Structure 1
Amino acid sequence: MLAIETLKRALEGRDNRALSEFYADDATLIVMSKDSPPRSPRTISGRTAISAYYDEVCRRDMKHELVAGVADDSHLAFTEACAYPDGTRVFCSAMAELLEGKIKRQTNVQVWDA
C-alpha cells in the first residue's frame, strides 16, 4: 500500500524522482484541466513520460500542499492545493488504481484560478 505520508513528502518537496517511483512501468496518468477538458484530456503513458511530466511540474516556482489523502491496497485518492508566487492557485483532485503497490492508472482533475 502506498503511504500517504510518503506521497506528502514527495509532493510538498517537489521530488520528481520520488513521485515517479510510485508508478508502474506501464502506468497511465490522465489530466483534466482548463487546457485539457474531459472531451480531450491529456493522457500520459508510461513511467518515463510520467516522470518527464513531474519533472516539468516540479521545476515550476510553486508551493504544493497535500490537503487530504486516503489509500488502501487497490486505490489511492488525494487532494492537492498549489500556489504560484503571483497568487494564482490550482487545486487538484486525484484518484488512482493501484496494482502490487504501484499506481497503474490515475486521473487528476485540476481547477485553476481564472
Structure 2
Amino acid sequence: MTSVTTTQLKQAIEGRDARALTGFYADDAVMRIIDRDHPPSSPLELHGKGEIRSFYEDVCGRAMTHHVDAVIADNEHLAFTQACAYPDGARVFSTAMLTLVNGLITDQTNVQAWDG
C-alpha cells in the first residue's frame, strides 16, 4: 500500500498504470461512477480493491490518452479533473472527489461526460 500524493496520482493516471492506481486504495474502498449509463439515482458502485483493480485494468488497457488538468488536496480529501481522448477523436471529461484515510483512498465519486 502506498499513500497517495497528487504527483503520483497524476503520473499513474497519465501513464495508464492500473497497478499503481490500485495501490492507492484501502482494501475496503468504494468507488462510485456517475455518467450517461449510471445516473445519480443508480450509480455504478465498485466495492473493494479487486473490483477497483478490474475497473482500472479495463480503462488503462484502452487505446486512449489521459490528462489530469487540475488537482487539489488536503490531508483528508483529493479532487481532480481529467480529460481523455480516444484515437477516433471521442472525448471524455471527468471530475473526481476522493476521501483519504491514513493516506489511502477510502471513497471516491467520479462524474463523467462523454461525447455523443
TM-score if structure 2 supplies the norm length? Answer: 0.96
Query: Given the alignment of the two structures, is residue 20 of structure 1 paired with residue 22 of structure 2, yes or no?
Result: yes
Match of 1:52 in 2: 54
RMSD (CA atoms): 0.8
Aligned residues: 114
Amino acid paired to 1:56 = D
Residue ranges of structure 2 left out of the alignment (5+ in a row): none
1:99 to 98, 101, 105: 101
SS of equivalent to 1:80: strand
Residue ranges of structure 1 left out of the alignment (5+ in a row): none
Q: Deviations over 1:51-91 (max 9, x none)?
A: 01000000111000000101111000000000000000000
Q: What percentage of aligned pairs have identical amino acids?
A: 52
SS of equivalent to 2:110: strand
What displacement does 1:111 show?
A: 0.5
Contact in 2 for aligned 1:2/1:71 (Cα 8 Å):
no
